[in-house]
Chains A and B, each alone.
Chain A
Amino acid sequence: MRFVFKTQYEQDTRIWKHSGYLWTYGILIAALILFPAVNNVIDIEFFVGEATLWLVYSIAGVGLMVSIGFTGQLSLGHAAFLGIGAYTNAYLLTLGMPSYVSIPAAIVLAAIAGVAIGLPTLRMHGIYLAIATFSFLIIVEHIMAKWETVTGGFNGLAVEAPTWYVPFMPELRYEMYNVWEIYYLALAMLILTIWAVLNLLRSPTGRAFVAIRDSEVSAQSMGINLAWYKTLAFAVSAGITGLAGAVMSYQLTYLAPDAFNIFESIKLLLIVVVGGVGSIHGGVMGAAFIVALPQFLAILRDFMISITSDTVFVSVGRFMETPGLEAGVFGAILVIVIIFEPLGLYGRWVKIRTYFELFPMYKKATFKRQKSYLKTERLR
């Protein structure tokens, strides 16, 4: 266990608390950068593609974390922002715009949509907010399906490769056709997003978000404008999810409106809950889980089917072939996680880490919290 000796106030404002952070995350980022090169041995396109999907969902997970984890505003409508980001990016590319215009435009448009849904739902909490955002998602889904001149409706919209060029100089043009280039784009965007959110959290804006989550009434009496900061949180969250949508559109290469339905929203919610509400790590870990699970299920299914010649496993093999199994498994996992590990994968990781840090002194009760009944609900 490391005891950090603090000598300056500045130490508390740093993103890394001690040099160990620089090492661990430095090695992690280096590994992520080297990953496409090392992976040449096997099916590179497949694994890099899956990793890109993980990075994209991580961005979206961090985005949703700003809203659910840090400001305490539940949302079932984040697939709409994902869709808005994806379609904005794809449409601007078809107009011949470069990626450095289309991606920021996707962020801005998604953020504006976030304000549009954030303002009318200011006084809503919990399940009511979830229903309101869900309705918003249905509206956006219909717009994506019906506005054929822009989105191509159910015929879909092909997404061009990320394009970078200098205006009026056609010879300076670069298009990212390779899978690994999109992977690096996603990686860069994820690192940028996490950096921005960490900055928010160590400055007054982020503290205001957390204050609203924990106690609205005292946040207000400390001078925090609830309406403004709630809307701002929703806009930031939507903007980041829009960024995820833009990068995702490159990875998907083809957009259809039914890709951004309620199931996608639940998937995002699952990232936040399974990963661990209230931590950026949670968003990234949850995303890894959500991307790996279908693959894991597919491998398990193939394995089960291959051994069903034995009579015992026939019914199991049939069960594994059931369409829509994935959705059911997702639901079951959500329930299990909420019951047994409310802090999610990150919470579990922290417990394991603490166990080794405190070994042999770790006690089971280390993470037990006393229930407090002091909170007043009168002024909500």
Chain B
Amino acid sequence: MTFFKAENLAIHFGGVKAVDGVNFEINEGEVFTIIGPNGAGKTTIFNLISRIYNATEGRLIFQDEDFTQTSPHLIAGMGIARTFQNIELFEHATVLHNLLIGRHCHREGNLFTDMLYLPSTKRRELAHRRRVEEVIDFLDLAAYRDQMIANLPYGVRKVVELGRALCTEPKLLLLDEPSSGLNVEETEDMAFWIQDIQKILGITVLMVEHDMTLVNSVSDRVLALNYGRTLAEGLPAEVQSNEEVIRAYLGG
């Protein structure tokens, strides 16, 4: 079974080939990292997978299912959740509220059951809450549960966003620069969490990351991109010693 596969993936904005024929496959249960200099097309690949952009060419396959044409709001229900590079939380809501929105793809009921708040809605709400509390326990967010996002420091927001993605109960988790803006200590915590997510929760992780220490400590395989094309793919150490990768990073 193919867990996740991008086949000849490409997107062109006018004449700019942001992603140009990239192939990669992710095995279930591994941490797969995409690295590359600025403008290499890493985040664009994420936006293609979450279907915010339409691929110009190529196919995306998740669990043997082609989702190249699926509507963006159905991606979460398929089991693919993501975080954003520049935190996209719901600012004027509490942490709890944000995490509950993560449960949206598991909602049942409709406008009328919600409007009347029938016993069935209440029962489901409590069930959602229980799942959210599991994530709060996992990420140690209990202290911030009832705080507004707007009042939280950057590092905590980053964790809340990770929590919101976990609340969708994903099979594949996309992390867009999980360590950006975090200090050394917070980055270490993030590394532990990514390992826990992989080992304890059994979730496959696809991440974009610049911090090579973090990449080395958690990744099983690495893909290096430049100008929308693959430079190298393999074990972290292999990719980092690849000449083309070094040239792309250092110039020359």
A binds B: yes
Instruction: Find residues 220-267 in chain A having any chain B CB closer than 8 Å to their own CB.
Output: 220-226, 232, 236
Q: Which residues of B contact A218 (CB under 8 A)?
A: 84, 88-90
Cβ-defined contact, A223 with B77, below 8 A? yes
Partner of A217, one of B88, B114, B164: B88
Question: Chain A interface: which size bin?
Answer: 35 or more
CA gap between A205 and B154 in the complex, in Å: 28
Cβ-defined contact, B73 with A223, below 8 A? yes
Partner of B126, one of A10, A221, A379: A10
Chain-B contact segment, one of A35-43, A50-58, A77-85, A370-378: A370-378
Q: Which residues of A contact B90 (CB under 8 A)?
A: 210-211, 213-215, 218-219
Partner of B86, one of A211, A214, A232, A376: A376
Q: Which residues of A contact B110 (CB under 8 A)?
A: 205
Instruction: Find residues 116-153 in chain B having any chain A CB closer than 8 Å to their own CB.
Output: 116-117, 121-122, 125-126, 129-130, 133, 150-151
Q: Which residues of A contact B74 (CB under 8 A)?
A: 223
Binary flags per residue of A52-93, CB closer than 8 Å to B gives 1, else 0: 000000000000000000000000000000000000000000
Partner of A203, one of B125, B129, B151: B125
Q: How close is A18's CB to chain B, nearest CB, in angstroms?
A: 14
Instruction: Find residues 349-380 in chain A having any chain B CB closer than 8 Å to their own CB.
Output: 369, 372, 374-376, 379
Chain-A contact segment, one of B19-27, B56-64, B100-108, B183-191: B100-108
Q: Which residues of B contact A13 (CB under 8 A)?
A: 122, 125-126, 129
Q: Which residues of A contact B104 (CB under 8 A)?
A: 204, 207-208, 211, 222-224
Cβ-defined contact, A199 with B115, below 8 A? yes
CA gap between A375 and B150 in the complex, in Å: 12
Q: How close is A330's CB to chain B, nearest CB, in angstroms?
A: 27
Question: B194 an interface residue at 8 Å Cβ cutoff?
Answer: no
Q: How close is A197's CB to chain B, nearest CB, in angstroms?
A: 8
Question: How many positions in chain B have a CB within 8 Å of any CB in the partner chain?
Answer: 51
Q: Which residues of A contact B164 (CB under 8 A)?
A: 222
Cβ-defined contact, A202 with B125, below 8 A? yes
CA gap between A377 and B17 in the complex, in Å: 22
Q: How close is B74's CB to chain A, nearest CB, in angstroms?
A: 7
Question: B71 an interface residue at 8 Å Cβ cutoff?
Answer: yes
Cβ-defined contact, B111 with A232, below 8 A? yes
Partner of A374, one of B82, B86, B103: B86
Given contacts A200-B114, A207-B101, A221-B76, contact A376 B88 (CB under 8 A): yes
CA gap between A372 and B92 in the complex, in Å: 13
Question: B47 an interface residue at 8 Å Cβ cutoff?
Answer: yes
Cβ-defined contact, A207 with B100, below 8 A? yes
CA gap between A277 and B50 in the complex, in Å: 32
Question: A114 an interface residue at 8 Å Cβ cutoff?
Answer: no
Given contacts A202-B125, A205-B111, A375-B86, contact A223 B76 (CB under 8 A): yes
Q: Which residues of B contact A10 (CB under 8 A)?
A: 122, 126
Cβ-defined contact, B168 with A223, below 8 A? yes
Cβ-defined contact, A204 with B82, below 8 A? no
Cβ-defined contact, A369 with B150, below 8 A? yes
Question: B97 an interface residue at 8 Å Cβ cutoff?
Answer: yes
Q: How close is B46's CB to chain A, nearest CB, in angstroms?
A: 10
Q: Which residues of B contact A236 (CB under 8 A)?
A: 111
Given contacts A202-B117, A206-B114, contact A372 B82 (CB under 8 A): no
Q: Dominant SS at the B interface?
A: helix
Cβ-defined contact, A214 with B93, below 8 A? yes
Q: How close is A350's CB to chain B, nearest CB, in angstroms?
A: 13
Question: B14 an interface residue at 8 Å Cβ cutoff?
Answer: no
Cβ-defined contact, A226 with B73, below 8 A? yes
Question: B212 an interface residue at 8 Å Cβ cutoff?
Answer: no
Question: A275 an interface residue at 8 Å Cβ cutoff?
Answer: no
Binary flags per residue of A171-214, CB closer than 8 Å to B gives 1, else 0: 00000000000000000000000001001101111111011011
CA gap between A224 and B71 in the complex, in Å: 11
Question: A9 an interface residue at 8 Å Cβ cutoff?
Answer: yes
Question: B87 an interface residue at 8 Å Cβ cutoff?
Answer: yes
Minimal Cβ-Cβ distance residue in A for B128: A204
CA gap between A215 and B81 in the complex, in Å: 16
CA gap between A213 and B90 in the complex, in Å: 8
Q: Which residues of A contact B103 (CB under 8 A)?
A: 204
Cβ-defined contact, A221 with B130, below 8 A? no
Cβ-defined contact, A224 with B109, below 8 A? no
Question: B72 an interface residue at 8 Å Cβ cutoff?
Answer: yes
Partner of B101, one of A12, A211, A372, A379: A211
Minimal Cβ-Cβ distance residue in A for B73: A225
CA gap between A207 and B76 in the complex, in Å: 16
Question: A317 an interface residue at 8 Å Cβ cutoff?
Answer: no
Given contacts A222-B104, A222-B105, contact A12 B81 (CB under 8 A): no
Question: A283 an interface residue at 8 Å Cβ cutoff?
Answer: no
Q: Which residues of B contact A224 (CB under 8 A)?
A: 73, 101, 104
Q: Which residues of A contact B75 (CB under 8 A)?
A: 221, 223
Question: B40 an interface residue at 8 Å Cβ cutoff?
Answer: no
Can you list 18 A-B contacts with CB-CB less than 8 angstroms, sorted by A residue number?
Answer: A9-B130, A13-B122, A200-B114, A200-B115, A203-B121, A211-B93, A214-B92, A214-B93, A219-B101, A222-B104, A223-B73, A223-B77, A223-B104, A223-B105, A236-B111, A369-B150, A372-B150, A376-B85
Which 4 A-B residue pairings sit nearest by Cβ, starting from the closest?
Answer: A223-B105, A223-B76, A218-B88, A214-B90
Chain A interface (Cβ < 8 Å from any Cβ of B): 9-10, 12-13, 196, 199-200, 202-208, 210-211, 213-215, 217-226, 232, 236, 278, 369, 372, 374-376, 379
Chain B interface (Cβ < 8 Å from any Cβ of A): 47, 50, 52, 71-77, 81-82, 84-93, 96-97, 100-105, 107, 109-111, 113-117, 121-122, 125-126, 129-130, 133, 150-151, 154, 164, 168
